[in-house]
Amino acid sequence: MIKNINFIYKNKGGLCNAKQSILDHPTEQILIQVFSGIIEKVVIEALLKELKETFPHTPIIGTTTAGEILNSTLLEKTIVISISTFQCTTVRTILESNNDNLSVTGNNIGEKFKDTPPAALILFGCGLKNKRTIDATALLSAIYTNLPNVIVAGAQAGDNGEGKNTFVFTENGVTDTGVVAAGLSGENLDVNNTYNLSWIPIGKKMTITKVDGPRVYSIDDQSPYELYSHYLGKEVADGLPLSAADFPLIIKRNNITMAIHAIGVNDDGSFEYIHSFNPGEQVQFGFCHAGLLAIGARETYNDLKSKQVQASFIYSCVSRKWILGSDINIEISPIAKLAPTSGFFAYGEYFTFQKQKSCLFLSQTMTVLTLAERSEFENRVIHENLPLPITDEESKQFKTLKVLHRLVE
């Protein structure tokens, strides 16, 4: 059985207290995850020193954040530590300090785990390069090619929305230009992943008419700036690119619905997006609301409650927190009812779609990784159905929004 200890780091004394709970546990059967809202390399290095002194030879994987998650509580500018102990699962971490060529980095990671593929691979990548969000598609594609049967979870490091620098780290060091991974291997390890998008397409379908990778020059033969001004108003257009997160473009690829938002505006009216597009692809504007979060939260909870869950990790996009504010707790708190939960808000999420046989880079999405170790001697925990976590008034508003959605289609 997996046991999880989640807490806010304040000093070495807290680490020593946690150590007392896992005395004599084999170090290769422990995983320490660190979610740091303190974006300072010197602080991270000092913390790593304390962790290695307190938990020698123990696998560690960590990232800077744009917000931390501790059970059902949302935090900012703290350091959350999650210590997982396993009975029959081993953990191994690696650090790749170069992201100049993400395909090569992904191949390197895949090769290092290829001989003994893990059941799950937790991956944290630096989120920024030249102050722009990194598109991790090539990284994940290369990893999937090498490890097609491994569930990959995780996300990209954040820096509290400052857009300057991010860090990821293991027990072997810190990097602001790389990727870290923790492989979890064990025949009795149950790994499940799920995600919640909650954005609905609204309005007419539009066609990408001129594009060069992530730079879109025209949609329906208009510049993105003209298009956003026409459909969303000058206030939204003048607030770009930050306001673009409120109305991402919704696209469906391989039966997977994705939300893609602009991250940069150019003088010629073209936009830089977090993902690349292809000419001829169709998109719609997207919209989200607390009611949609509630529906998605209930679906996620009901999906996971049928499984054995002993530890939960949430890797969610910071855009959801910025746009939805305190409403974001609607989708976090149900997960925490299932098992001890921790995680962070990120600059893009990593997710394996097993049915579609792909590992994708997502944005504006909440992803959840759950773990459990099977044992015939343990009683299975049965969870009740989750009521819709919104008020009657909010439910009425949501029904109205659904009607409006059908009308504009």
C-beta of residue 290 within 8 angstroms of C-beta of residue 390 = yes
**Per-residue pLDDT tens digits for 329-367:** 888 999 999 999 999 999 999 999 999 999 999 999 999
pLDDT above 80 (res 271): yes
Instruction: Write down the pTM of the prediction.
Output: 0.92
pLDDT above 90 (res 293): no
Region of 131 (left: φ > 0; alpha: ψ -120 to 50; beta: rest) is left
How close are the terminal C-alpha atoms of the chain, in Å? Answer: 49
Cα–Cα distances in angstroms (integers) from residue 123 to residues 21, 25, 34, 56, in the given order: 26, 24, 13, 22
Instruction: In whole angstroms, give the CA distance from residue 338 to residue 4.
Output: 13
Going by pLDDT thresholds of 50, 70 and 90, the confidence category of residue 399 is low
Residue pointed to by tokens 């979610």? 35
Instruction: In whole angstroms, give the CA distance from residue 48 to residue 174.
Output: 9
Region of 283 (left: φ > 0; alpha: ψ -120 to 50; beta: rest) is beta
The whole-number pLDDT of residue 377 equals 44
Question: Per-residue pLDDT averaged across 178-197, rounded?
Answer: 96
C-beta of residue 365 within 8 angstroms of C-beta of residue 317 = yes
Decide: helix, strand or coil at residue 143. helix
140-154, 194-208, 285-299, 373-387 — most confident range: 140-154
134-138, 225-229, 326-330, 397-401 — most confident range: 134-138
Decide: helix, strand or coil at residue 298. helix
**Per-residue pLDDT tens digits for 41-90:** 999 999 999 999 999 999 999 999 999 999 999 999 999 999 999 999 99
Residue of 93, 16, 21, 8 whose CA lies nearest to 54: 16
Residue of 350, 380, 384, 388 whose CA lies nearest to 367: 350
Cα–Cα distances in angstroms (integers) from residue 355 to residues 282, 358, 370, 397, 398, in the given order: 23, 8, 18, 34, 31
Question: Per-residue pLDDT averaged across 273-298, rounded?
Answer: 90
Amino acid in the structure at residue 200: I
Half-sphere exposure of 390 (CA within 13 A, CB side): 23
The whole-number pLDDT of residue 404 equals 56
Long-range Cβ contact pairs of 260-263 (< 8 A, separation 24 or more): 260/363, 261/319, 261/363, 261/364, 262/224, 263/132, 263/133
